[in-house]
Amino acid sequence: MDIEGLKAIIIGGASGFARATAERIVAGGGAVAILDREESAGAEVAASLGGTWHPTNVLDFDGIAVVIDEAVDTLGGLHVAVNTAGGGKAGRTLGRGGPFDLDDFRAVIDLNLIGTFNTNRLCAAHMAEGDPNDDGERGVLINTSSIAAFEGQIGQVAYTAAKAGIAGMTLTMARDLGSLGIRVNTIAPSLFATGLTAGVTEDRAVNLTKDAAFPKRLGRPDEYARLAIAIIENPMLNGDTIRLDAGTRFAPK
């Protein structure tokens, strides 16, 4: 799918991976609707990109449906949805304070897994209404997992479960949506320098990147954006979770 002329919803678009992806889409001639939390920098980011701003919370599962409808109306259609809203809550299965709290576990699943599935199913419904391009493509969904989906560290049990769920549903969703010309891919990053990791200390960053093959550094948001653009442009990329990790395999801690 060509970037020129495409219409994209960017969830988490006020910062980090999603913002960098929005910048690349606009630079390539596409249009973006930025969805993010009210208190984020979404309004400024949208204005700087000539895009539209739609405050929302992915945890408001019903409310975001209305916001997505509005965003698609404003864009005049939908070809691409990128979702990076997510995060974790640290804690061992059994810690000093007792077993991991189930409400905390559910909250991490809600934000990452249910939130992702909800936006995917809603965006797919809009994409299905569009005309296919010459290759029969109607849309591309790009989700965000983590290499913790495959080798979660001690204390990442909830995050690992949620991110593994995103990776696990990718091929099935691609199969579900294949007859409509909608592709689904997931990016699984290692440690990147974004808003989420702004509080990671230098020592911890060195520790978390020491097992990379090359380069041994934090990734840059634009490196995620470049993969997102490749996914959009290449029709043969489908149903896959692609590690973006410089050859890193997380150690247990």
Ligand X SMILES: NC(=O)c1ccc[n+]([C@@H]2O[C@H](COP(=O)([O-])OP(=O)(O)OC[C@H]3O[C@@H](n4cnc5c(N)ncnc54)[C@H](O)[C@@H]3O)[C@@H](O)[C@H]2O)c1
Q: What is the set of active-site residues?
A: 159
Q: How many CA atoms lie within 13 A of 43 on its CB side?
A: 3
Cβ-proximal residue to ligand X, closest one? 16
Element (H, E) at 35: strand 31-36
Q: Contact between 196 and ligand X (CB under 6 A)?
A: yes
Among 6, 85, 140, 142, binds ligand X (CB under 6 A): 85
DSSP state letters, 125-186:
HHHHTSPP-TTS--EEEEEE--GGGTSPPTTBHHHHHHHHHHHHHHHHHHHHHGGGTEEEEE
List of residues 6+ apart from 128 with CB closer than 8 A: 138, 139, 180, 182
Q: Which is nearer to ligand X, 52 or 144 (CB)?
A: 144
Instruction: Determine the interface stretch with ligand X among 52-60, 68-76, 118-126, 176-184 (rule: CB under 6 A).
Output: 52-60
Angle at 11 between CA 30 and CA 88, to 5 degrees: 145
Question: Minimum CB separation from ligand X for residue 196, in Å?
Answer: 3
> Which of 21, 52, 194, 241 is close enough to bind ligand X by CB under 6 A?
194
Cβ proximity to ligand X: between 7 and 19 the closer is 19
Compute the distance between CA of residue 131 and CA of residue 182 in angstroms, rounded to an integer.
11
Report 143-172 residues binding ligand X (CB under 6 A): 144, 146
Window contacting ligand X (CB under 6 A); options: 13-21, 120-128, 171-179, 227-235 = 13-21
Residue 245 near ligand X by CB under 6 A: no
* Interface ranges with ligand X (CB under 6 A): 12, 14-17, 36-37, 40, 56-59, 84-87, 111, 144, 146, 189, 191-192, 194-197
